Amino acid sequence: MLFVLSEEHKHLGFLSEVDPAVVGESGRIAVEFLKKGSNPKIYEGALNVWSGSVQHGLEGLMYLLTESCKLTISEEDFQDSVLVLGFSEELTELLLQLYLENRKEIRQILSKPAPSLPHYHSLEWRLDVQLSSRPLRHQLKPTVTLKLHLEDGARRSAHVLQTDPATLQHLIDELERALAELKSSHCRRILHNIQ
Amino acid sequence: MISRFRFCGDLDCPDWVLAEMSTLARMSSVKMKLLCVQVIKDLLDEGIDYDKVSKLTSDAKFESGDIKASIAVLSFILSSAAKHDVDSDSLSSELQQLGLPKEHTTGLCKSYEDKHSALQEKLREISLRLGRLEAVNWRVDYTLSSSELKQVNEPTVQLKLQAQDPETDSTQTTVVSITADKFRVLLTELKQAQTMMNALQ
């Protein structure tokens, strides 16, 4: 799968005008920006080129990397896509190396902002027996108290639930049935086709 | 080899625990016992001394990953054994079956035996409790007069209860004021509950 480079990518043109060391440095800075957010002070110090084109150039490089990682394109496709910009073989090779080395990490960063539901963090539980209450003595009522800890990005929430053993057993049976679905032939066929 | 282990709650031993036995064996048995002491301090919330830990693991040339793994596996073994109330001899035989050398096992089990009750006490303390009552304060007032009635002449109790909110774990304060009659009822009921609790202990 190729990705199409458009008018905007003329900004990457500055890369062919500088020597390979600078390209390497720009690549490293672009990856840092993808990890931590952009920091304009670095433009001036690290690269001795006019700041306007440097900013666009770096952004162009970041876009090149994120688009390639988004589509997880193969080496040949990457090279073919970049061919459009008319870079030297050496430069193309440098960019390819940059892509391959950082691909996994950038994909991880890209996977984060996707909308998600709070997910399981941990579960605390307690088994009690109610022996007596104000209106009624001599009881034997077992209850299970659960505290479900969930995490949603940085936010933690806790939910307190209480149930009797019969309902808990029913809950367990339903969840086991859900897990067993994964092993059904229908599910296996789909997972096999995705992977 | 038996696959069910008492210290794992009669379940299979997790693969990662088995894998770290060889990491522990790289230390001398004396140093491993000292590391156990540090891990137990951590489990009891007494604070772990990371400088001591790095000195103990330096001979075996542990990298930071190895240090973390050895602390994790020792924490697991000690807390899980305490959780399932495993005796020291059974733990010793099970750890040797997993491949931990005899001298290391002896050292670990000695530390375990020494701190067995303290560990269980700590685990009991951190067991799930909802809305823990943290403090009770009271005050007795005598109302002389009010806008409704010139001569009220009534004692009341003001109770301030500080408890933990079950879902957020933050402290919540509740203040209630109780008339003499209502308070008598409350006290009688609570004394009945107390009698029942004492009978159970």
* Interface touch A131/B196, C-beta < 8 Å: yes
Q: What is the mean pLDDT of chain B?
A: 92
Q: Output the pLDDT for position A69.
A: 80
Percent of chain A predicted with pLDDT > 90: 23
Q: Output the pLDDT for position A94.
A: 78
In a mutagenesis test of the B interface, which of A132, A140, A149, A159 is the best target, namely the one with the most B β-carbons within 10 Å?
A132
Average pLDDT value for residue range B165-189: 92
Q: What is the pLDDT of residues B51-106, one digit of tens each?
A: 888 888 888 888 888 899 999 999 999 999 999 999 999 999 999 999 999 999 99
* Interface touch B128/A134, C-beta < 8 Å: no
- Measure in Å the smallest separation between the Cα of A148 and chain B Cα atoms: 10
Q: Output the pLDDT for position A42.
A: 65
Q: Is the pLDDT of residue A19 over 70?
A: no
Distance of CA B161 to the CA centre of its chain: 24
Q: What is the pLDDT of residues A72-88, one digit of tens each?
A: 778 787 777 777 777 77
Q: Output the pLDDT for position B201.
A: 84
Q: Residue B88 and residue B93: Cα distance in Å, rounded?
A: 9
Identity of the residue in B127, B167, B189 whose CB atom sits nearest the CB atom of A160: B167
CB B56 within 8 A of CB B13: no
* Interface touch A145/B130, C-beta < 8 Å: yes
If pLDDT is split at 50, 70 and 90, which confidence band does A10 have? low
Q: Which ranges of chain B would DSSP assign to H, the alpha helix?
A: 15-25, 29-43, 50-58, 64-83, 88-97, 102-125, 180-200
Long-range contacts at B194-197 (CB < 8 A, ≥ 24 apart): B196/A131, B196/A132
* Interface touch B167/A131, C-beta < 8 Å: no
* Interface touch A132/B196, C-beta < 8 Å: yes
- Measure in Å the smallest separation between the Cα of A67 and chain B Cα atoms: 34
Judging contacts by C-beta atoms under 8 Å, the chain B residues touching residue A124 are 127-128
Q: Residue B108 and residue A158: Cα distance in Å, rounded?
A: 36
Q: Is the pLDDT of residue B38 over 90?
A: yes
Q: What is the mean pLDDT of chain A?
A: 79
Burial (CB < 10 A; 0-12, 13-18, 19+), residue B128, is: middle
Amino acid at B126: I
The pTM of the full predicted model, rounded to 2 decimals, is: 0.66
Q: Output the pLDDT for position B110.
A: 94
Q: Is the pLDDT of residue B150 over 90?
A: yes
If pLDDT is split at 50, 70 and 90, which confidence band does A110 have? confident
Q: Output the pLDDT for position A45.
A: 60
* Interface touch A126/B127, C-beta < 8 Å: yes
Question: Which of A38-42, A158-162, A173-177, B51-55 is least confident?
Answer: A38-42
Q: Residue B76 and residue B19: Cα distance in Å, rounded?
A: 13
